[in-house]
Amino acid sequence: MANAAGKKPDDENERESALLQRIAQHDRDALAELYRSYHARLFKFIFRLTHSYAAADELVNDIMLIVWQSASGFRGASKVSTWIFGIAYRQAMRSVTRSKKAQSHQLHVAEPACDDSIEIETKDWVWHGLHQLPYPQQLSMVLVFYFGLSYSETAEVTGCSVNTVKTRMFHARRKLREHLAQSALAVLHEDGRQHG
């Protein structure tokens, strides 16, 4: 199956592996190319974990610095994207832990209401449903559906077994179905009151 750019996943991984080999030789152009390829995905992923634009912006740069410093250690045991998202996950969790200690906030804080695009996104039923899930289920759903990782890649990124990911996804889907059904009923009820 080809991606949006028409490249097969294997071709994409080979291209990214070649970029990592060049980065291991301190090729700044290769890092810039990888950065352009991953910036938006990493930013979105980290924002979903931290709920902070500032943290996401800073952590993307930290992650790419780690990629720069660690590229020579990549052995190809996983896809490049899995390796990079694993780094991103660990960095985001460190940031959330530091933030929780500093501010005594829970992980699931509300998105800032000052940004219209976030306000629109939080009105989406699926987005609301996603935020009702326990954090491990939410993370698995984000990695699988929003970022296209396989169950085995999700297990590798989050440090759990594939069976654990499958269980989390099963329960997450069931809870989302229930949430969507309740949301639809609420809208129908509200429409009925307005037109009744």
Tokens of 109: 């804080």
Helix (H, G, I), strand (E, B) or coil at 85: helix
DSSP H stretches of helix in 71-161: 80-103, 116-123, 125-132, 135-141, 151-158
Please state which of the ranges 34-43, 87-96, 123-132 shows the lowest mean pLDDT: 123-132
pTM beyond 0.85: the answer is: no
Mean pLDDT of 102-109: 44
> Is the pLDDT score of 183 beyond 50?
yes
CA-CA distance, 127 to 2, in Å (whole number)? 27
CB 161 within 8 A of CB 155: yes
**Model pLDDT for residues 19-61, shown as the tens digit of each residue:** 999 999 999 999 999 999 999 999 988 888 888 888 899 999 9
Q: At what angle do helices 162-195 and 151-158 cross, to 10 degrees?
A: 100
> Is the pLDDT score of 102 beyond 80?
no
Domains contained in the chain, CATH given: 1-109 (1.10.1740.10), 110-196 (1.10.10.10)
